[in-house]
Amino acid sequence: MLDRALNTAAVGALFGRDDGAPAGWAISAAPVGYLKAVAAMEARVAAIAEGRAGELVWLLEHPALYTAGVSARPADLLDPDRLPVFASGRGGQFTYHGPGQRVAYVMLDLTRRRKDVRAFVAALEAWVIGALGHFNVDGQIREGRVGVWVERRPAGLTPREDKIAAIGVKLRRWISFHGVSLNVEPDLGHFSGIVPCGVTEHGVTSLVDLGLPVTLDEADAALLVSFRQIFGPATPADPPA
């Protein structure tokens, strides 16, 4: 069942910037609407590509909503009237965002790192796996299933795999945007309104669902430590306007 563990040191060596410059690290305290966030990302990505702004990782929460990636199938929206639905330019299919889930929008210049999409996605997975390790959660990856998974072995029941983090990115002129979402303490019931990421045979979990009373602030701290190990330095920054 377990495919492989990532060598985070090796991945990190591949994804530090060639000049060692830090990425900005911004956290929005209040929920941010989806369309507002996308507009801010679009503007920042253009500014990075034109040399007018530096890289940025933007951590936030969204109000409860669904997004449909470029591969989303209409039939996978099981309850279209439950929550607002937004088309998204990221890769992937349907996913849920909402309070208690940490969304990290990652705007990095791969021309200064490595122009390799598969390796970049692997680095994002390694980043999340490293953060989960701070809470003694064994995050895993699976061939053919992007994202981070945990294997659960409840007493007397069949072992199962649940997804704890989703990944969906887009590149424009080798600048990344969109990113990852880590389930800290979201309302997992909303995932029943979709087929999450098009996967029907596995479930969804969160840190709190695993019995770990982790706060968003604690998750953010773990994500920052792991980011520095995988991608290099990061420094506090303001969220994009």
Strand partners for 169: 178
Cα separation, 51 vs 62, in Å, equals: 29
Per the listing, tokens 């290099």 go with 232
Which helix (H) or strand (E) segment holds residue 47: the answer is: helix 34-49
Answer yes or no: are the C-beta atoms of 110 and 176 closer than 8 Å: yes
Distance CA 214, CA 210 (A): 10
- Give the DSSP letter of residue 55: -
b/e sequence 93-129, b meaning 16+ C-beta within 10 Å? bbbbbbebbbbbbbbbbbebbbeeeeebbbbbbbbbb
What are the respective helix, strand and coil percentages of the chain, to the nearest 5? 30, 30, 40
Distance CA(235)–CA(94), nearest Å, equals 32
Q: Which of 197, 230, 234, 237 is catalytic?
A: 197
Please say if 203 is a catalytic residue.
no
Q: Tell me if 120 sits within 8 A of 15, measured CB to CB.
A: yes
User: Which residue's entry shows tokens 């209409």?
Assistant: 74
State the catalytic residues.
197
